[in-house]
Amino acid sequence: MIIRKLWRVLALDFSRTLQYRTDALLWMLAEAAIPLVAMFIWLAVSAGSNKGPTGQEILSYYVVVIFVKLLTDAWNGAFMAQDILQGEIVQDLVRPIPVVFKYIANNLTEKVIKLILPIAAIIFIALLKPDFFSNALLLPHRWLLFVISLALAMTLQFLIDMVIGTLAFWLEDVNQLRQYKEMLSSAASGLLIPLAFLPSVFVTGLNWLPFRYVISAPAEILTGNYVSLTAPSLITIQAAWVFALVLIIRWQWRAGLRRYAIPGQ
Protein backbone atom coordinates (compact mmCIF):
# COMPACT_ATOMS: atom_id res chain seq x y z
CA MET A 1 0.00 0.00 0.00
CA ILE A 2 2.74 2.47 0.96
CA ILE A 3 4.62 1.66 -2.27
CA ARG A 4 1.53 2.46 -4.32
CA LYS A 5 1.13 5.78 -2.54
CA LEU A 6 4.78 6.61 -3.06
CA TRP A 7 4.48 5.75 -6.76
CA ARG A 8 1.52 8.12 -7.09
CA VAL A 9 3.50 10.88 -5.41
CA LEU A 10 6.40 10.26 -7.80
CA ALA A 11 4.11 10.32 -10.85
CA LEU A 12 2.45 13.55 -9.70
CA ASP A 13 5.77 15.22 -9.00
CA PHE A 14 7.22 14.07 -12.32
CA SER A 15 4.32 15.62 -14.24
CA ARG A 16 4.88 18.83 -12.28
CA THR A 17 8.60 18.74 -13.04
CA LEU A 18 7.92 18.41 -16.78
CA GLN A 19 6.22 21.79 -16.65
CA TYR A 20 9.55 23.29 -15.56
CA ARG A 21 11.88 21.12 -17.66
CA THR A 22 13.67 24.15 -19.12
CA ASP A 23 14.47 25.40 -15.62
CA ALA A 24 15.74 21.93 -14.67
CA LEU A 25 18.05 21.84 -17.70
CA LEU A 26 19.40 25.30 -16.88
CA TRP A 27 20.09 24.20 -13.30
CA MET A 28 21.86 21.12 -14.71
CA LEU A 29 24.15 23.32 -16.82
CA ALA A 30 24.88 25.54 -13.81
CA GLU A 31 25.75 22.56 -11.62
CA ALA A 32 28.02 21.06 -14.28
CA ALA A 33 29.85 24.37 -14.85
CA ILE A 34 31.95 24.24 -11.66
CA PRO A 35 33.44 20.76 -12.19
CA LEU A 36 33.97 21.54 -15.90
CA VAL A 37 36.02 24.64 -15.07
CA ALA A 38 37.93 22.71 -12.40
CA MET A 39 38.64 19.93 -14.90
CA PHE A 40 40.25 22.28 -17.43
CA ILE A 41 42.34 23.90 -14.69
CA TRP A 42 43.69 20.59 -13.43
CA LEU A 43 44.27 19.32 -16.96
CA ALA A 44 46.51 22.35 -17.48
CA VAL A 45 48.28 21.65 -14.18
CA SER A 46 48.79 18.01 -15.12
CA ALA A 47 50.24 18.95 -18.51
CA GLY A 48 52.96 21.01 -16.82
CA SER A 49 53.81 18.55 -14.06
CA ASN A 50 55.23 15.05 -13.85
CA LYS A 51 53.60 14.39 -10.49
CA GLY A 52 50.03 13.54 -9.60
CA PRO A 53 47.30 12.08 -11.82
CA THR A 54 47.74 12.03 -15.60
CA GLY A 55 45.57 14.04 -17.94
CA GLN A 56 43.46 11.01 -18.85
CA GLU A 57 42.96 10.16 -15.17
CA ILE A 58 41.81 13.72 -14.46
CA LEU A 59 39.46 13.63 -17.43
CA SER A 60 37.95 10.31 -16.33
CA TYR A 61 37.68 11.56 -12.74
CA TYR A 62 35.78 14.70 -13.67
CA VAL A 63 33.46 12.94 -16.11
CA VAL A 64 32.44 10.73 -13.19
CA VAL A 65 32.31 13.72 -10.81
CA ILE A 66 29.90 15.63 -13.07
CA PHE A 67 27.64 12.60 -13.24
CA VAL A 68 27.86 12.07 -9.46
CA LYS A 69 27.30 15.76 -8.76
CA LEU A 70 24.07 15.81 -10.75
CA LEU A 71 22.81 12.64 -9.10
CA THR A 72 23.71 13.55 -5.53
CA ASP A 73 22.68 17.21 -5.58
CA ALA A 74 20.07 18.08 -2.94
CA TRP A 75 18.00 21.22 -2.51
CA ASN A 76 14.99 20.03 -0.53
CA GLY A 77 16.21 21.39 2.78
CA ALA A 78 15.34 24.87 1.55
CA PHE A 79 11.82 23.72 0.66
CA MET A 80 11.36 22.07 4.05
CA ALA A 81 12.55 25.20 5.86
CA GLN A 82 10.11 27.31 3.84
CA ASP A 83 7.23 24.91 4.57
CA ILE A 84 8.02 25.00 8.30
CA LEU A 85 8.35 28.77 8.52
CA GLN A 86 5.19 29.41 6.48
CA GLY A 87 3.09 26.75 8.23
CA GLU A 88 2.55 24.69 5.07
CA ILE A 89 4.11 21.67 6.77
CA VAL A 90 0.82 21.22 8.64
CA GLN A 91 -0.91 20.15 5.41
CA ASP A 92 1.73 17.46 4.88
CA LEU A 93 1.38 16.15 8.42
CA VAL A 94 -2.25 15.13 7.87
CA ARG A 95 -1.57 13.26 4.64
CA PRO A 96 -1.48 9.42 4.70
CA ILE A 97 2.21 9.16 3.78
CA PRO A 98 5.30 10.34 5.68
CA VAL A 99 6.26 13.96 5.02
CA VAL A 100 9.72 13.02 3.80
CA PHE A 101 8.25 11.23 0.76
CA LYS A 102 7.25 14.60 -0.67
CA TYR A 103 10.86 15.77 -0.70
CA ILE A 104 12.23 12.42 -1.90
CA ALA A 105 9.84 12.47 -4.86
CA ASN A 106 10.79 16.01 -5.83
CA ASN A 107 14.49 15.18 -5.55
CA LEU A 108 14.26 12.07 -7.73
CA THR A 109 12.00 13.38 -10.47
CA GLU A 110 14.04 16.51 -11.15
CA LYS A 111 17.18 14.39 -11.49
CA VAL A 112 15.56 12.37 -14.27
CA ILE A 113 15.32 15.55 -16.36
CA LYS A 114 18.80 16.77 -15.41
CA LEU A 115 20.49 13.53 -16.46
CA ILE A 116 19.16 13.43 -20.02
CA LEU A 117 21.86 15.61 -21.59
CA PRO A 118 24.89 14.27 -19.63
CA ILE A 119 24.03 10.64 -20.37
CA ALA A 120 23.45 11.42 -24.05
CA ALA A 121 26.79 13.28 -24.24
CA ILE A 122 28.73 10.45 -22.55
CA ILE A 123 27.19 7.82 -24.87
CA PHE A 124 27.92 9.97 -27.93
CA ILE A 125 31.59 10.49 -26.95
CA ALA A 126 32.04 6.83 -26.02
CA LEU A 127 30.71 5.70 -29.41
CA LEU A 128 32.60 8.32 -31.38
CA LYS A 129 35.94 7.92 -29.60
CA PRO A 130 36.06 4.83 -27.34
CA ASP A 131 39.63 5.55 -26.14
CA PHE A 132 38.66 9.02 -24.90
CA PHE A 133 38.18 7.75 -21.33
CA SER A 134 40.36 5.58 -19.15
CA ASN A 135 39.88 1.81 -19.45
CA ALA A 136 39.41 1.76 -15.68
CA LEU A 137 35.83 2.93 -16.25
CA LEU A 138 34.97 -0.32 -18.04
CA LEU A 139 35.65 -2.82 -15.23
CA PRO A 140 32.36 -4.52 -14.15
CA HIS A 141 33.28 -5.09 -10.47
CA ARG A 142 34.00 -1.39 -10.06
CA TRP A 143 30.57 -0.54 -11.42
CA LEU A 144 28.94 -2.73 -8.80
CA LEU A 145 30.81 -0.99 -5.98
CA PHE A 146 30.16 2.36 -7.66
CA VAL A 147 26.39 1.82 -7.72
CA ILE A 148 26.40 0.97 -4.00
CA SER A 149 28.56 3.97 -3.17
CA LEU A 150 26.48 6.28 -5.39
CA ALA A 151 23.23 5.23 -3.69
CA LEU A 152 24.78 5.93 -0.30
CA ALA A 153 26.15 9.28 -1.54
CA MET A 154 22.72 10.34 -2.80
CA THR A 155 21.16 9.41 0.53
CA LEU A 156 23.93 11.14 2.47
CA GLN A 157 23.65 14.43 0.57
CA PHE A 158 19.86 14.38 0.88
CA LEU A 159 20.07 13.82 4.65
CA ILE A 160 22.67 16.57 5.14
CA ASP A 161 20.40 19.05 3.40
CA MET A 162 17.31 17.90 5.29
CA VAL A 163 19.11 18.16 8.64
CA ILE A 164 19.84 21.81 7.84
CA GLY A 165 16.27 22.37 6.62
CA THR A 166 14.79 20.90 9.78
CA LEU A 167 16.67 23.50 11.83
CA ALA A 168 13.90 25.89 10.73
CA PHE A 169 11.98 24.61 13.76
CA TRP A 170 14.45 26.66 15.82
CA LEU A 171 15.90 29.22 13.37
CA GLU A 172 14.16 31.83 11.25
CA ASP A 173 16.67 31.63 8.40
CA VAL A 174 18.67 28.53 7.48
CA ASN A 175 19.65 29.70 3.99
CA GLN A 176 22.91 31.14 5.27
CA LEU A 177 23.79 27.78 6.80
CA ARG A 178 23.05 26.07 3.50
CA GLN A 179 25.35 28.50 1.69
CA TYR A 180 28.15 27.81 4.15
CA LYS A 181 27.55 24.09 3.67
CA GLU A 182 27.77 24.45 -0.12
CA MET A 183 31.05 26.36 0.09
CA LEU A 184 32.56 23.84 2.49
CA SER A 185 31.29 20.94 0.40
CA SER A 186 32.81 22.34 -2.81
CA ALA A 187 36.21 22.63 -1.15
CA ALA A 188 36.14 19.39 0.86
CA SER A 189 34.35 16.95 -1.44
CA GLY A 190 36.90 16.69 -4.25
CA LEU A 191 34.78 18.84 -6.55
CA LEU A 192 37.13 21.81 -6.90
CA ILE A 193 40.36 20.05 -5.95
CA PRO A 194 40.84 16.29 -6.46
CA LEU A 195 42.06 14.77 -3.21
CA ALA A 196 45.03 13.29 -5.06
CA PHE A 197 46.49 16.81 -5.34
CA LEU A 198 46.13 17.57 -1.61
CA PRO A 199 48.78 16.91 1.07
CA SER A 200 48.08 13.78 3.09
CA VAL A 201 47.49 15.78 6.29
CA PHE A 202 44.61 17.63 4.61
CA VAL A 203 43.15 14.39 3.27
CA THR A 204 43.26 12.91 6.78
CA GLY A 205 41.25 15.88 8.06
CA LEU A 206 38.70 15.63 5.24
CA ASN A 207 38.19 11.95 6.05
CA TRP A 208 36.35 13.05 9.20
CA LEU A 209 33.84 15.20 7.30
CA PRO A 210 30.88 13.78 5.36
CA PHE A 211 31.49 15.77 2.17
CA ARG A 212 34.21 13.55 0.75
CA TYR A 213 31.80 10.63 0.78
CA VAL A 214 29.26 12.49 -1.37
CA ILE A 215 31.43 13.30 -4.42
CA SER A 216 34.95 11.94 -4.24
CA ALA A 217 34.18 8.49 -2.83
CA PRO A 218 32.03 7.22 -5.74
CA ALA A 219 34.45 8.77 -8.25
CA GLU A 220 37.47 7.16 -6.59
CA ILE A 221 35.74 3.77 -6.61
CA LEU A 222 34.83 3.87 -10.31
CA THR A 223 38.16 5.26 -11.53
CA GLY A 224 40.23 3.15 -9.13
CA ASN A 225 42.31 6.14 -8.02
CA TYR A 226 41.96 5.73 -4.26
CA VAL A 227 43.31 8.36 -1.87
CA SER A 228 44.21 6.98 1.58
CA LEU A 229 41.08 4.78 1.82
CA THR A 230 40.01 1.63 -0.05
CA ALA A 231 36.57 0.94 -1.55
CA PRO A 232 35.30 -1.13 1.44
CA SER A 233 36.42 1.61 3.83
CA LEU A 234 34.75 4.35 1.79
CA ILE A 235 31.46 2.45 1.58
CA THR A 236 31.53 1.56 5.28
CA ILE A 237 32.07 5.19 6.30
CA GLN A 238 29.31 6.31 3.92
CA ALA A 239 26.89 3.87 5.56
CA ALA A 240 27.96 5.03 9.03
CA TRP A 241 27.29 8.68 8.13
CA VAL A 242 23.87 7.78 6.69
CA PHE A 243 22.95 5.92 9.87
CA ALA A 244 24.13 8.80 12.09
CA LEU A 245 22.24 11.43 10.09
CA VAL A 246 19.03 9.37 10.12
CA LEU A 247 19.21 9.33 13.92
CA ILE A 248 19.88 13.08 14.02
CA ILE A 249 17.02 14.03 11.73
CA ARG A 250 14.59 11.73 13.57
CA TRP A 251 15.47 13.50 16.83
CA GLN A 252 15.23 16.93 15.20
CA TRP A 253 11.85 16.13 13.67
CA ARG A 254 10.29 14.87 16.90
CA ALA A 255 11.78 17.64 19.03
CA GLY A 256 10.80 20.27 16.47
CA LEU A 257 7.18 19.14 16.24
CA ARG A 258 6.83 19.27 20.02
CA ARG A 259 7.68 22.96 20.07
CA TYR A 260 6.22 23.95 16.70
CA ALA A 261 3.65 26.71 16.56
CA ILE A 262 1.91 27.59 13.29
CA PRO A 263 3.00 31.08 12.21
CA GLY A 264 0.31 33.67 12.88
CA GLN A 265 -1.52 31.57 15.49
Model confidence pLDDT, tens digit, residues 6-56 = 666 555 655 665 555 566 666 666 677 788 888 888 888 877 777 767 777
Which candidate, 240, 239, 212, places its Cα nearest to that of 226? 212
99: in domain: yes
pLDDT band at 95, cuts 50/70/90?
confident
169: in domain: yes
For residue 153, the model assigns a pLDDT of: 96
pLDDT band at 3, cuts 50/70/90?
low
264: in domain: no
| pLDDT 10s digits, 53-90 | 777 788 888 888 988 988 898 888 888 888 888 888 88
pLDDT higher than threshold 80 for residue 106: no
Rounded CA-CA distance 150/251 in Å is 26
Whether the Cβ atoms of residue 249 and residue 166 lie closer than 8 Å to each other: yes
Count up the domains in the chain and report the number: 1
Dihedral pair phi/psi, residue 129, rounded to 5°: -145, 85
120: in domain: yes
For residue 27, the model assigns a pLDDT of: 65
Which candidate, 223, 240, 253, places its Cα nearest to that of 156? 240
148: in domain: yes
| pLDDT more than 70, % of the chain | 78
Rounded CA-CA distance 219/61 in Å is 6
CB environment 180-202: b (16+ within 10 A), e (fewer): ebeeebbebbbbbbbbbbbeeee
DSSP single-letter state for residue 198: S
pLDDT higher than threshold 70 for residue 107: yes
pLDDT higher than threshold 90 for residue 103: no
Helix segments in the chain, DSSP class H: 2-18, 21-47, 55-72, 76-86, 89-93, 100-114, 116-128, 140-166, 175-188, 200-206, 216-223, 231-259
| pLDDT 10s digits, 198-219 | 888 899 999 999 999 999 999 9
Dihedral pair phi/psi, residue 196, rounded to 5°: -65, -20
| pLDDT 10s digits, 242-261 | 999 999 999 999 999 888 87
pLDDT higher than threshold 60 for residue 134: yes
Q: Containing domain of residue 123, as a range? A: 8-259
Rounded CA-CA distance 200/202 in Å is 5
